[in-house]
Chain A
């Protein structure tokens, strides 16, 4: 009953009830869906079905979901959204560091999952070439290294700009501390995330209307940061 034209989503979960709920919803939202129960099935379907997005559970009967991420990342950058009952920081960080794009903890809301799938697909459609990134009042011109907030030029230090650039090129994605440190300061800094927190605080001071309650660069507790471009992902401000 899946339409033959929509984006392809692979749902990997060992729980039939979860698979059924997710795929029924996806089918109704014009996605083409395939289900996999085990890691091996997931890898086989990945090759034959060529999904645009993968929804992956970490606890699989044959091997760990983390291994699935590793094997897929060797071949491609297909967005992977982790959907797992494991909600610990360490689980999130290791999945994201291995290349997962997003992480949702069970129990989850179907609406939120659908929103995250849309975000993943939108980034897939967006070309990687530098251009102008806009969200809310924030405008980042990657070609001319210019940042404007509500049409006013913002003065950033080189490191602040480099950090913002990493966020802007990965909008709506959870970026772990390790990824950000690696991309901005280089591999020799390892897991030293002290500078990172300082620079995120500076960026927020310059960009956020209220740096105590950021709307652009939000904290993923214990994991990292995320630049919000899609309004449906905005955290509750209540």
Chain B
């Protein structure tokens, strides 16, 4: 049933040979008496040789036989029988048959060896191009891509891809060709792919177009494709290094007009060994990158641990020393001394609490689990409140506040933005001399609302400007005590609000820290009736 629907590809040669013989016969028959047997025979011989050179030896043999019969039947007396009256004609027919068989065979085999030679040459060229392309690639993933591109080019294939097994699943590492080349393997493909990997052999299948009667596609196992007209095919080539399968090369079909159309195995083997090496290089590079990443993470972790242990121990030391003092048995403290110790314990415990809070915020920011709880707020009022609340800390500085009248309400998480501004103001008081001026400003920009904290301290050393927002970074030689967390947390919180934060030195001296939060776009304005909280 399948055969009735799908044309046999190999039959084409025979059918065409029979057709052309019929045509030639029909053409010559009317002139049978004017054209001599010699010419007729030579014309049929020519046809036979042509068929043999185009469709190969078997079609040639077939043509030799049918032209011989046609000659006998239509041109040699008695006509329309296979009998031959003249013994000379019998000899002529026999010689004609022998010449056409020998000629056809010779022609087809020379054609085959010429094709073979062409293919070998092309194979060499491809292998050369490939190794050149691969050796030029320093990036392993790029090398795999170059390999796929070369496969697509050499086979004139619709697509090619390299797949490797990562964490138990086949994953696409590189591909080239059309849009379909980057697809993930479907069930059918996965079966063939896994078979290729486990057996270490070339596996694949073809798929026919929709059948006319049943409107479905037929999957044709590899090796039997020749009998079907395929809409597409796919081949999986294991990439082996020794006995180890490093990956699989997928070559999509149908392959177009390429010298490897009939026997792709030779070139595939050459490609496979190059590809295996490329995959191995990629694996090694990946392992090296992984080790490097681990080392860096390890370094970061120990730097973090050092910083944290230092910053946690310092307030703890004050707390323990003060508490220990209060418990001294040989001393009777005055009320004032007692109060100072208790105050010290409270302050340092609060400092510890802020540090732990910052650390938690930082870890939430870095893990991306920060979820601002936003509402509509008056940013100006927030700034005023924070500055007011920080009065005890800023008592040593001359703080001025400048809030623009036309700040629209902004959608923000009050606690988080409060923390951002608190950190900036605290930072300014810590790193500038007592008595110097600090100005806090808030005003709208074109699409953002900007808050600035401007100090007139020593400014930020140029080399620290870039790193000042890094966690645990502290300006070298700075006299102030800090954990290097405040600015990192502030920037993280602003980013969680889709805003930006930056720092710069002012030309007139001092530093300027600013953050900007996006203004609501018109349709985002607070719905009517929403209460704007201050």
Q: Which of B91-99, B232-240, B336-344 contacts A (4 or more CB under 8 A)?
A: B336-344
**Segment from A42-50, A104-112, A147-155, A196-204 that makes contact with B:** A104-112
Is B480 among interface residues, defined by CB-CB distance under 8 A? yes
Give chain A residues whose Cβ lies under 8 Å from the Cβ of B344: 17, 20-21
Interface residues on A, range: 20 to 34
Interface residues of B in 291-337 (CB under 8 A from A): 309-310, 313-322, 324-325, 328, 331, 333, 337
What B residues does A20 contact at CB under 8 A?
340, 344
- Count of B residues near A, CB < 8 Å? 28
A25-B317 in contact (CB<8A)? no
Structural contact, B321 and A21, CB atoms closer than 8 A? yes
B348 within 8 A of A: yes
A119 to chain B, nearest CB (A): 17
A-B contact pairs, 29 of them (CB 8 A): A14-B481, A15-B314, A15-B481, A17-B322, A17-B347, A17-B348, A18-B318, A21-B321, A21-B322, A21-B341, A21-B344, A22-B321, A24-B340, A38-B479, A61-B477, A61-B479, A62-B479, A85-B310, A85-B314, A85-B317, A86-B310, A106-B317, A107-B313, A107-B321, A108-B320, A108-B321, A110-B324, A110-B328, A111-B324
Query: In whole angstroms, how far apart are the Cα atoms of A108 and B317 in the complex?
Result: 6
Cβ of A78 under 8 Å from chain B: no
Closest chain B residue, CB of each to CB of A37: B479
Task: Say whether A17 contacts B324, CB under 8 Å.
Answer: no
Contacts of B243 in A (CB 8 A): none
Task: A21-B325, A86-B310, A110-B325 are known; give 6 further A-B pairs, CB within 8 A.
Answer: A17-B318, A17-B322, A17-B344, A21-B321, A28-B333, A61-B480
The 4 closest A-B pairs by CB, nearest first: A17-B318, A106-B317, A61-B479, A21-B321
In the complex, A176 has a CB within 8 A of chain B: no
The answer to whether the Cβ of B367 comes within 8 Å of any Cβ in the partner chain is: no
Instruction: Please list the residues of chain B having a beta carbon within 8 angstroms of any beta carbon in chain A.
Output: 309-310, 313-322, 324-325, 328, 331, 333, 337, 340-341, 344, 347-348, 477-481
Across the interface, do B310 and A25 meet the contact criterion of CB distance under 8 Å?
no
| Given contacts A38-B479, A61-B480, A109-B324, A18 and B317 within 8 Å (CB-CB) | yes
The residues of B that contact A61 with a CB separation of less than 8 Å are: 477-481
A115 to chain B, nearest CB (A): 12
Q: With A15-B481, A38-B479, A61-B479 as known contacts, state yes or no: A25 contacts B316, CB within 8 Å.
A: no
Hey, which bits of chain A sit against chain B, CB under 8 A? 14-15, 17-18, 20-22, 24-25, 28-29, 38, 59, 61-62, 85-86, 106-111
Inter-chain contacts of A18 with B (CB < 8 A): 314, 317-318, 321
Chain A positions within 8 Å of B337 at CB level: 24
CA A85 to CA B310, docked complex, whole Å: 6
**B341's closest neighbor in chain A, by CB?**
A21
Complex CA distance for A93 and B272, rounded to whole angstroms: 60
Residues of B within 8 A of A85 (CB): 309-310, 313-314, 317
* Contact B318 A21, beta carbon cutoff 8 Å: yes
Task: State the Cβ distance, A18 to closest chain B Cβ, in Å.
Answer: 5
Write the chain A residue with the least CB distance to B351. Answer: A17
Return chain A residues, CB-CB under 8 Å to B477.
Answer: 61-62
Q: Complex Cα distance A110/B323, Å?
A: 9
